[in-house]
Amino acid sequence: MIGKKYIIKTSLLISILLFLFNFSYVLADDIDYEENSTNLDDFSYEVSNTSESSLDLNSRACVVIDRKSKYILYGKNENKKVKMASTTKIMTAILVIENMNLDTTVEVSKKAANTGGSRLGLKTGDKITIKNLLYGLMLCSGNDAAVALAETVSGSVENFAVLMNKKANDLGLKNTNFETPHGLDSDNHYTTAYELAILSDYALNNSTFKQIVGTKYYTININGYSKNLSNTNELLGNLDGVYGIKTGFTNGANRCLVTACKRNEMDIICVVLGADTKNFRTKDSIKLIEYTFKTFTYINLKTKIDEGFNHWISNNSNLFYIEKGITQNINLYISAPSNPIIPIKKDEINDIEIIYDINMHLSAPISSDTKIGTLNVLLNNSNIDHCNVHIKNNIDKKNILFYLNDFILNYKNSLSYLF
């Protein structure tokens, strides 16, 4: 009898321990266990009073970049290496889309089916298309879908990580390293807020990826049976202009959110990493998005540079001297700025300054397209762009025949003056 009671108590204890272990493991992703759901109406006051000095962000690292110019519009620890949780799946998804036929049906392995954390709910032997796995990956953040996709593309999670890191290197992401397709905590699995924004910008250029991450609800089929999915991104469909892209949560990374938002012509990506709660990640994201659209506007930098250069030419063209040149007439042109359209704070539009560094004493011969200087564009004493200044026309050097002809012409003019 005593032995039975002992067995029962031991079994109960093991069951409790297993429950606690599994519960903490499930918490290691996007599933929301916070009692209070996020209500966007709660943030109306903060939004209306947002300024850079009063943002008061909870997130450990964040960044906002402009998709046109790739300029950083706001940053906080944006280059610090941090864990990224399920925002990892941005890389997973784009690699699958670029390398696979999405209509292909795959069979789910035991390893994929047994993957913990947030799940699509796959079982060993399930039949599902790659396209449906992608929706399960990006909408409900299925770690089981991530492993199934990695195995389909590369044969194993380890081989897929090699592919992920090669892509990261190709994109110039020097402070990013992947070990898994799902993003569960690992010391050598990290990125930065800035590089995650650059990766997201790249992925959003793919129309299939953009469509998937912009979908709020979707119905997939597993073994011929339908399953309804909803997107874990709380801002999608609730905040003006938001069209993606991915949430994330692990115990090590805390709450993460990458958001793409476009209003009128301005298109931005906002990344918040390491927020303490879902409410904080939502609040920080909204603050940054509203701050950006309130604060910045686009200006046509090329037009401003062209106008300034034309004014400079009109005041300085007669100051050029071309030693031994057959002509002193010089035609100039400038290369285009790297970003013709740039975002700038509305109250700094008149602070743009153009500095000219042009060699005005030249020696012939000079061939067309020769660079003779630069034009630097400054904002608050920081260089934001530059253009090269080139000569448009050929200018030949005076030769002996030119001097002889010049002498004869001057001699005739002298004779005509005397007689």
Q: How far is CA 72 from the centre of its chain?
A: 9
Q: Is 382 in the active site?
A: no
pLDDT of residue 94: 98
> Taking each helix axis from N to C terminus, what angle separates 89-99 and 143-154, rounded to the nearest 10 degrees?
40
| Count of other CB atoms within 10 angstroms of residue 157 | 18
pLDDT of residue 7: 47
Q: Which of 83, 89, 167, 287 is catalytic?
A: 89
pLDDT of residue 326: 87
Please list the residues that pair with 263 across neighbouring strands: 266
Q: Are 239 and 232 in contact (CB under 8 A)?
A: no
pLDDT of residue 169: 98
pLDDT of residue 396: 87
Q: Are 301 and 385 in contact (CB under 8 A)?
A: yes
The DSSP bridge pattern shows strands 217-222 and 127-129 to be unpaired
pLDDT of residue 239: 96
| Terminal Cα-to-Cα distance of the chain (whole angstroms) | 145
Report residue 51: phi and psi, to 5°: -145, 160
Q: Are 90 and 233 in contact (CB under 8 A)?
A: no
pLDDT of residue 70: 95
- Look up the pTM and report it: 0.85
Residue 315: both structure tokens together: 């005041």
Report residue 177: phi and psi, to 5°: -145, 135
pLDDT in tens, 258-314: 999 999 999 999 999 999 999 999 999 999 999 999 999 999 999 999 999 999 999
pLDDT in tens, 366-393: 999 999 999 999 998 899 999 999 999 9
Domains of the chain: 20-293 (3.40.710.10), 320-400 (2.60.410.10)
Residue among 334, 78, 103 at smallest CA distance from 192: 78
pLDDT of residue 417: 56
Q: What is the mean pLDDT of the chain?
A: 88
Q: Is 141 in the active site?
A: yes
Secondary structure string (H, E, C) spanning the chain: CHHHHHHHHHHHHHHHHHHHHHHHHHCCCCCCCCCCCCCHHHHHHHHHCCCHHHCCCCCCEEEEEECCCCCEEEEECCCCCECCHHHHHHHHHHHHHHHCCCCCEEECCHHHHCCCCCCCCCCCCCEEEHHHHHHHHHCCCCHHHHHHHHHHHHCCHHHHHHHHHHHHHHCCCCCCECCCCCCCCCCCCEECHHHHHHHHHHHHCCHHHHHHHCCCEEEEEECCEEEEEECCCCCCCCCCCEEEEEEEEECCCEEEEEEEEEECCEEEEEEEEEECCHHHHHHHHHHHHHHHHHHEEEEEHHHHHHHHHHHHHHHHHHHCEEECECCCCCCEEECCCCCCEEEEEHHHHHHEEEEEEECCEEECCECCCCEEEEEEEEECCEEEEEEEEEECCCECECCHHHHHHHHHHHHHHHHHHHC
Low-confidence ranges of the chain (pLDDT < 70): 1-50, 399-419
Residue 324: both structure tokens together: 């031994």
Phi-psi region of 375 (alpha: psi -120 to 50; beta: other; left: phi over 0): beta
- Kindly calculate the radius of gyration of the chain based on its CA atoms and give it in whole angstroms: 31
| Count of other CB atoms within 10 angstroms of residue 176 | 25
The DSSP bridge pattern shows strands 382-391 and 332-334 to be antiparallel
Residue among 147, 29, 144, 151 at smallest CA distance from 86: 29
Q: Which of 59, 69, 86, 154 is catalytic?
A: 86
pLDDT of residue 23: 37
Report residue 184: phi and psi, to 5°: -60, 150
Q: Which of 59, 69, 109, 141 is catalytic?
A: 141
Side-chain-side CA neighbours of 211 within 13 Å: the count stands at: 7
pLDDT of residue 129: 98
pLDDT of residue 44: 63
